[in-house]
Amino acid sequence: MSTFFEYLQSSAVGQLISGSDHLVGAAVQIVHIAGIILLLTAVVLVALRLLGLGLREQSLAEVETLARPFLWAGLVATVISGTLFFISTATIYAPKGALQIKLVLLVLAIALQFGLVRRLVNHPASKALTTGGAIASLVLWFGVGLAGRAIGFT
């Protein structure tokens, strides 16, 4: 596995970022943060609506339609910029616990968002399931963010 990370890091893409001006790294960081804001905004909009705490005069479907482009734009921006970071620093970051936790939480968050949350929007369910799903999505997505923030400090 570590040979694979070494290969990634020494690849053309890996060298492109780590070998260039640190402002290229800063630009990738800005894409990442913009993606985080868009993604979390979409998650918050849908969760608040499911909880009956925000935009409750709009239908669930209306809020989901509003949030969907933000969710996708955020996912694409964060995953692409995050992958670029990872490729350029794979050998250092791959063994980090915070990154591993982040990736597990990310997979769970995506599964919950496209499994349960989307279903709750289209098919009304019991209040307990709706509330639980909304809170779980907030906890998981903000958990991804916090774990991500912890990577640089570990």
Partner 1 sequence: MSSILQIAQALQGSSFGTAIAESTIVFPLIEGVHLLGLALSFGLLLIVDLRLLGLVLRQVPAAKVHDQLRSWIFAGFALTIVSGILLFLAEAADVVFNYAFIAHALFIVVGLANAAFFETRLAPRAAEWGESLKLPAAARLAGAVSLSSWIVVVISGRLVPYLA
Distance CA 86, CA 6 (A): 11
37 makes contact with partner 1 (CB under 8 A): yes
* ∠ CA 12-15-17, rounded to 5°: 115
| 46 binds partner 1, rule: CB under 8 A | no
* Residue with smaller CB distance to partner 1, 2 or 29: 29
Q: Residue 150, interface with partner 1 (CB under 8 A)?
A: yes
149 binding partner 1? (CB under 8 A): yes
Size of the site for partner 1 (CB under 8 A): 32
Residue 43 token pair: 């998650």
Contact 17, 25 (CB under 8 A): yes
Distance separating alpha carbons of residues 150 and 77, to the nearest angstrom: 20
User: Interface with partner 1 includes 84 (CB under 8 A)?
Assistant: no
Q: Binding to partner 1 by residue 43, rule CB under 8 A?
A: yes
Q: How far is the CB of 2 from partner 1 (least distance, A)?
A: 27
Q: How many residues in the chain?
A: 154
Which of 11/29 has CB closer to partner 1?
29
Task: Specify the DSSP class assigned to residue 56.
Answer: T
